[in-house]
């Protein structure tokens, strides 16, 4: 469906100091990072190599409706308030059986995520077609709204739901191009905002690759693809 490679990326430690430093260098007028040697911007090639997302294909575009009530009830079978375009994150997680799934004793974060993925695959494989399609749409809405195109708040926007009606077409969209546009939009937001929206490992790995003198990343798994799988964040020992 176009997301296989990004799902293979391991968890990465957040580096807020690096993110804030990059934001402070963002030139809104030029839509680029302003460094002493000139301007630099992340490219579609960076998106493809770092995340594995597809950067060519059908455009991720369409109308944004003020209300997704009927569409959400039809495609997600979840309640959305009238005149609303938002679905609660908790409702999505509960529908997928992920909200109360806790860690086992002695289980680290990576082992926990691997177990969740294994259980989810087994449940989807045992479900009839319509129910599997329903859960897949719920998962994709959660993934797109809370990870890839994340925004602030504890709710998930349904703006991508019309593109998920035909699941056979989902893999043909240029999700990587839409992701890069979302990154630019987030960087050009209010200067008082110190964090970036969207999939945070992308900008961190972009800095590791293009600004190696900063020494913020550690190349621990050379040769893996996409490139984000090769890097870990170094633990910051300074305040």
What is the rounded average pLDDT of the residues 97-115? 61
pLDDT for residue 147: 86
Bridge partners of 148, per DSSP, are none
Residue-wise pLDDT tens digits, 156-191: 888 899 999 999 999 999 999 999 999 999 898 755
**Beta carbons of 228 and 205 less than 8 angstroms apart:** yes
Q: Pick from 179, 174, 177: which is nearest to 148 by CA?
A: 179
How far is Cα 231 from Cα 201, in angstroms, rounded to an integer?
Answer: 10
pLDDT band at 72 (very low <50, low <70, confident <90, very high): confident
pLDDT at 166: 93
| Contact of 43 with 207, CB cutoff 8 Å | no
Q: Is the pLDDT of residue 38 over 70?
A: yes
Task: Encode pLDDT of 119-148 as tens digits.
Answer: 666 666 665 677 888 888 988 998 898 889
Dihedral sign of CA atoms 151, 154, 157, 161 in order:
positive
Residue 59 has a pLDDT of 95
pLDDT at 115 over 70: no
Q: Check: CB of residue 163 under 8 Å from CB of residue 2.
A: no
How many percent of the chain have pLDDT more than 70? 78
Q: CA dihedral in degrees (189, 177, 163, 96; nearest 10)?
A: -70
Span of 5-14, 15-24, 79-88 with lowest mean pLDDT: 79-88
Q: Which residue has the higher pLDDT, 130 or 111?
A: 130
In contact, 93 and 142? CB cutoff 8 Å: yes
pTM (two decimals): 0.85
């Amino acid at each position: 469906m176009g997301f296989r490679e990004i799902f293979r990326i391991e968890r990465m430690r957040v580096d807020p100091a690096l993110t804030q430093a990059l934001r402070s260098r963002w030139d809104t007028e030029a839509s680029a990072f302003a460094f002493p040697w000139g301007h630099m911007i992340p490219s579609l090639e960076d998106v493809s190599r770092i995340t594995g997302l597809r950067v060519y294909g059908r455009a991720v575009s369409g109308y944004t409706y003020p209300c997704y009530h009927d569409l959400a009830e039809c495609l997600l079978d979840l309640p959305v308030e009238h005149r609303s375009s938002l679905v609660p994150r908790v409702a999505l997680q509960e529908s997928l059986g992920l909200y109360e799934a806790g860690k086992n004793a002695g289980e680290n974060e990576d082992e926990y995520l691997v177990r969740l993925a294994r259980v989810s695959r087994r449940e989807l494989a045992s479900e009839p077609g319509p129910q599997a399609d329903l859960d897949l749409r719920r998962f994709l809405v959660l993934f797109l709204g809370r990870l890839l195109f994340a925004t602030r708040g504890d709710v998930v926007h349904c703006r991508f739901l019309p593109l998920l009606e035909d699941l056979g077409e989902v893999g043909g969209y240029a999700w990587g191009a839409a992701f890069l546009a979302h990154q630019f939009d987030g960087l050009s937001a209010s200067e008082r905002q110190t964090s970036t929206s969207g999939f945070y490992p992308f900008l961190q790995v972009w800095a590791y690759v293009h600004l190696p003198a900063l020494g913020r990343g550690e190349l621990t798994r050379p040769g893996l693809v996409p490139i984000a799988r090769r890097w870990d964040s170094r633990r910051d020992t300074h305040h």
